[in-house]
């Protein structure tokens, strides 16, 4: 396996874990949880799901820039000679990471506190904010994947 193949494989897998996980949570788990669970149980479920998923997102957050910088140097000899779409991907990564860190550091502790104190209305409000931010991040992530697949020349 070449260095490029290894870096590219790690890069794609990390993106797949992050964006695919958000897609699963938004499109599959959330509707199923709404259909099968009452509000308190739904909040308890999400309070358990998010830390497990976020551990994997942190792995992706670390692997993506390391593999991305490796790919930059192996394929384009650095940032300056990389195509515009690669430079845009790097900026989008920063936006997605900032949104993730906001969820992890601000909303998740609020959700845990609401669940621990059984303040279900507060928990529902926090979960709604998390859902919006994850939805935004999912849309951005899907656009990023489309950009990477299309590799436009502009």
- The tens digit of pLDDT for each residue in 42-93 reads 999 999 999 999 999 999 999 999 999 999 999 998 889 999 999 999 999 9
95 vs 64, 65, 100, 101, 118, CA distance in Å? 13, 13, 9, 10, 33
Q: Answer whether residue 154 shows pLDDT above 90.
A: no
- CA atoms within a 13 Å half-sphere pointing along the CA-CB vector of 30: 15
Evaluate the CA torsion angle 85, 86, 87, 89 in order and state its sign.
Answer: positive
The region, left, alpha or beta by phi > 0 then psi within -120 to 50, assigned to residue 118 is left
Is the CB of residue 23 less than 8 Å from the CB of residue 137? no
Q: Answer whether residue 145 shows pLDDT above 90.
A: yes
Rounded distance between C-alpha atoms, residue 126 and residue 42, angstroms: 13
pLDDT (tens digit per residue) in 105-132? 999 999 999 999 999 999 999 999 999 9
Rounded distance between C-alpha atoms, residue 49 and residue 46, angstroms: 5
């Amino acid at each position: 396996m070449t260095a490029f193949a290894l870096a590219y494989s790690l890069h794609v897998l990390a993106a797949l874990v992050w964006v695919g996980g958000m897609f699963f949570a938004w499109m599959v788990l959330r509707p199923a949880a709404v259909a099968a669970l009452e509000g308190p149980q739904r909040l308890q479920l999400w309070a358990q799901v998010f830390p497990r998923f976020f551990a994997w997102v942190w792995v992706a957050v670390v692997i993506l820039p390391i593999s991305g910088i490796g790919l930059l140097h192996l394929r384009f000899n650095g940032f300056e000679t990389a195509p515009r779409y690669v430079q845009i991907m790097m900026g989008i990564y920063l936006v997605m990471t900032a949104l993730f860190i906001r969820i992890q550091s601000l909303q998740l502790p609020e959700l845990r506190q609401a669940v621990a104190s059984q303040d279900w209305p507060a928990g529902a409000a926090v979960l709604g904010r998390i859902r919006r931010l994850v939805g935004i991040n999912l849309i951005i992530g899907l656009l990023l994947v489309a950009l990477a697949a299309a590799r436009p020349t502009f």
